[in-house]
């Protein structure tokens, strides 16, 4: 019991110090700015993707949500990603590991197009 | 219909029959006449009559026959625009069974299901079994080929079809062509037939006599109804080019959940109502999604199309009837 407490304390202290240093040294840094934690949303409303062009950092996970009464898909024009059909309120997520521009469309209603720019 | 309007139709008919063709005037007449109308084709020129009363007396003689087009049953849809698509499909079947001249067969122009699920196709098959006409010819809508590239659709409906599900057949001298324009759609594009299907179609009609009446049916309109909403087919002009030599061509589509007609040379285009839910008129809403109307109005915007062929006149007549 005593030994375990010591171990927890031993680990906790440097972590806390690191966090304090981080907060003190660069107060503007938040979790969302770190590529590994970045997320972004695209809403599907009225047969369109919003925002139509989305810019995210490398490593960001983008989640599309279908808010129409009609099913849609999210399909990369270049074959990079492809969702199953998404009915009302269903979601699709994809994590962008590499920088680049990723055009996509709804394969059911191909007039619906969008783009993710990964920087 | 008022007497004045009826008189105008009769006048136009007379003009047409006397070869004093006045298509512009005729189309103007069609614009107000709306859907409660018979379309008759004679030598590629459509004529109209106030419907129902004139069809019955000649039908059934010789090689005359009729068939019914139904469309967009969207089995599985359960949103506010129509929480009970089984009931409205059943109402369509009741309507068909109540027609004075029973159709030889049914055409379903796609979006049979809402999400391509086996139980949705099963439900439609089950309801359609109650129709007096036992043969049903299908073409797929985009909702019937989701996720599996049309595999399950083809297994169920494509036994006598080519490619992605296209085929043709002859019925009492009329040549029917079922086309698929919902596969391999390209980003930013419209409905698409594709090279393989076009090649097949060219061969399919090559040896037919010019006098053979042609009926083409496909899900997405084969004319540019409203490209902004994807209501058109990018390579339809090529398909229609193969049909130029024929005197009578009727093109039946669904997809837009409302009736619309257009005449272009020898071709009459017609779109059918849905049996599930209405969609807005082109550009009259933010999107072409399901249109919610007061419950008591719903069935006045859903319906079937009864198509009559009278031999010797090379004529086809399309009568749209609503479910309520």
Instruction: Supply the ipTM of this predicted assembly.
Output: 0.81
**CB-based contact B79 A110, cutoff 8 Å:** no
Q: What CATH superfamily classification does A32-118 receive?
A: Cupredoxins -  blue copper proteins (2.60.40.420)
Please tell me which residue of chain B has the smallest CA distance to A83. Answer: B147
What residues in B contact A68, CB-CB < 8 Å?
A: 287, 289
Of A16 and B196, more confident: B196
Of A68, A108, A110, the CB nearest to B146: A108
* CA nearest neighbour of B231 among A44, A109, A71, A86: A109
CA–CA gap between residue B148 and residue A73 (Å, rounded)? 13
Which residues, in sequence order, are CB contacts of B20 under 8 Å at separation 6+?
none
Q: How many CA atoms lie within 13 A of A85 on its CB side?
A: 19
CA–CA gap between residue B252 and residue B192 (Å, rounded)? 16
pLDDT at position A55 over 50? yes
Q: Tell me the average pLDDT across B42-54.
A: 38
Q: Work out whether strand B167-171 and strand B174-178 pair parallel, antiparallel, or are unpaired.
A: antiparallel
- In terms of Cβ atoms closer than 10 Å to its own Cβ (0-12, 13-18, 19+), residue A117 is middle
pLDDT at B312: 61
Q: Return the exposure string of B26-63: e unless at least 16 CB atoms fall within 10 Å of the residue's CB, then b.
A: beebbeebebebbbbbbebbbbbbebeeebeebbeeee
**CB-based contact A71 B146, cutoff 8 Å:** yes
**CB-based contact A110 B188, cutoff 8 Å:** yes
Q: Which fold has domain B61-322?
A: Purple Acid Phosphatase; chain A, domain 2 (3.60.21)
Model confidence at A46, in pLDDT bands (50, 70, 90)? very high
CA–CA gap between residue B183 and residue B306 (Å, rounded)? 28
Q: Tell me the average pLDDT across A71-84.
A: 98
pLDDT at B315: 55
CA–CA gap between residue B128 and residue B307 (Å, rounded)? 18
* B142 touching A (Cβ < 8 Å): yes
* B143 touching A (Cβ < 8 Å): yes
pLDDT tens digits, B189-233: 999 999 999 999 999 999 999 999 999 999 999 999 999 999 999
pLDDT tens digits, B53-96: 344 444 444 568 899 999 999 999 999 999 999 999 999 999 99
pLDDT at B215: 97
CA–CA gap between residue A32 and residue A42 (Å, rounded)? 17
pLDDT at position B319 over 80? yes
The ranges assigned to domains in chain B are 61-322
Which of A92, A107, A112 is the best residue to mutate to test the B interface, defined by the most B CB atoms within 10 Å of its own CB?
A107
Q: Work out whether strand B260-264 and strand B267-271 pair parallel, antiparallel, or are unpaired.
A: antiparallel
Closest Cα in chain B, distance from residue A84 (Å): 6
pLDDT at position A42 over 70? yes
Report the run of H or E that residue B93 belongs to, with start and end: helix B85-97
* B187 touching A (Cβ < 8 Å): yes
**CB-based contact B116 A47, cutoff 8 Å:** no
Tell me the torsion sign for CA atoms B243, B282, A87, B322.
negative
Which token pair is B299? Answer: 């069935």
CA–CA gap between residue B177 and residue B35 (Å, rounded)? 24
pLDDT at B62: 53
Q: What is the mean pLDDT of chain B?
A: 84
Model confidence at B313, in pLDDT bands (50, 70, 90)? low
**CB-based contact A110 B230, cutoff 8 Å:** yes
Which residues, in sequence order, are CB contacts of B293 under 8 Å at separation 6+?
B81, B278, B301
Closest Cα in chain A, distance from residue B265 (Å): 29
* Interior angle at CA B152, CA B128 and CA A68, nearest 5: 80
pLDDT tens digits, B246-296: 999 999 999 999 999 998 888 999 999 999 999 999 999 999 999 999 999
Whose structure tokens read 């927890």?
A8
* CA nearest neighbour of B231 among B272, B284, B288, B186: B288
What residues in B contact A69, CB-CB < 8 Å?
A: 79-81, 289-290
What residues in A contact B186, CB-CB < 8 Å?
A: 110
Which residues, in sequence order, are CB contacts of B261 under 8 Å at separation 6+?
B30, B39, B268, B269, B270, B271
CA–CA gap between residue A116 and residue A101 (Å, rounded)? 6
What residues in B contact A73, CB-CB < 8 Å?
A: 146
Percent with pLDDT over 90 in chain B? 73
- Coil, strand or helix: which one is B123? helix
Which of B142, B287, B290, B292 is the best residue to mutate to test the A interface, defined by the most A CB atoms within 10 Å of its own CB?
B287
């Amino acid at each position: 019991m005593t030994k375990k407490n010591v171990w927890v304390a031993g680990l906790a202290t440097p972590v806390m110090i690191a966090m304090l240093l981080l907060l003190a040294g660069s107060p503007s840094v938040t979790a969302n700015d770190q590529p590994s934690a970045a997320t972004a949303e695209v809403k599907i409303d009225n047969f369109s993707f919003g925002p139509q062009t989305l810019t995210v950092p490398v490593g960001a996970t983008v989640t599309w949500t279908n808010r129409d009464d009609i099913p849609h898909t999210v399909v990369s024009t270049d074959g990079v990603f492809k969702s199953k059909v998404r009915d009302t309120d269903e979601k699709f997520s994809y994590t962008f590991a590499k920088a680049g521009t990723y055009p996509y469309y709804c394969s059911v209603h191909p007039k619906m197009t969008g783009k993710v720019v990964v920087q | 219909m008022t007497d004045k309007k009826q008189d105008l139709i009769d006048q136009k008919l007379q003009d047409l029959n006397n070869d004093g063709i006045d298509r512009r005037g005729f189309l103007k007449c069609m614009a107000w006449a709306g859907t409660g109308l018979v379309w008759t084709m004679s030598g590629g020129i459509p004529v109209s009559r106030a419907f129902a009363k004139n069809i019955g007396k000649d039908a059934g003689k010789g090689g005359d026959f009729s068939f019914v087009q139904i469309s967009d049953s969207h089995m599985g849809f359960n949103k506010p625009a129509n929480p009970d698509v089984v009931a409205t499909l059943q109402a369509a079947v009741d309507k068909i069974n109540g027609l004075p001249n029973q159709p030889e067969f049914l055409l379903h122009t796609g979006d049979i299901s809402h999400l391509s699920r086996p139980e949705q196709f099963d439900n439609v098959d089950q309801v359609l079994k109650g129709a007096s006409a036992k043969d049903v010819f299908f073409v797929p809508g985009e909702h019937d080929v989701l996720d599996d590239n049309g595999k399950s659709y083809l297994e169920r409906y494509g036994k006598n079809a080519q490619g992605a599900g296209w085929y043709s057949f002859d019925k009492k001298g009329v040549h029917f062509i079922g086309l698929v324009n919902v596969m391999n759609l390209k980003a930013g594009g419209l409905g698409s037939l594709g090279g393989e299907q076009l090649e097949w179609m060219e061969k399919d009609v090559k040896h037919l006599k010019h006098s053979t009446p042609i009926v083409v049916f496909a899900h997405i309109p084969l004319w540019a109804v409203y490209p902004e909403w994807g209501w058109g087919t990018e390579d339809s002009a090529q398909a229609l080019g193969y049909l130029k030599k024929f005197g009578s061509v009727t093109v039946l589509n669904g997809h837009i959940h409302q009736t619309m007609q257009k005449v272009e040379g020898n071709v009459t285009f017609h779109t059918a109502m849905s049996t599930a839910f209405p969609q807005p008129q082109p550009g009259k809403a933010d999107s072409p999604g399901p249109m919610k109307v007061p419950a008591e109005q719903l069935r006045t915007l859903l319906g079937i199309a009864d198509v009559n062929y009278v031999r010797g006149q090379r004529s086809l007549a399309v009568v749209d009837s609503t479910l309520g």
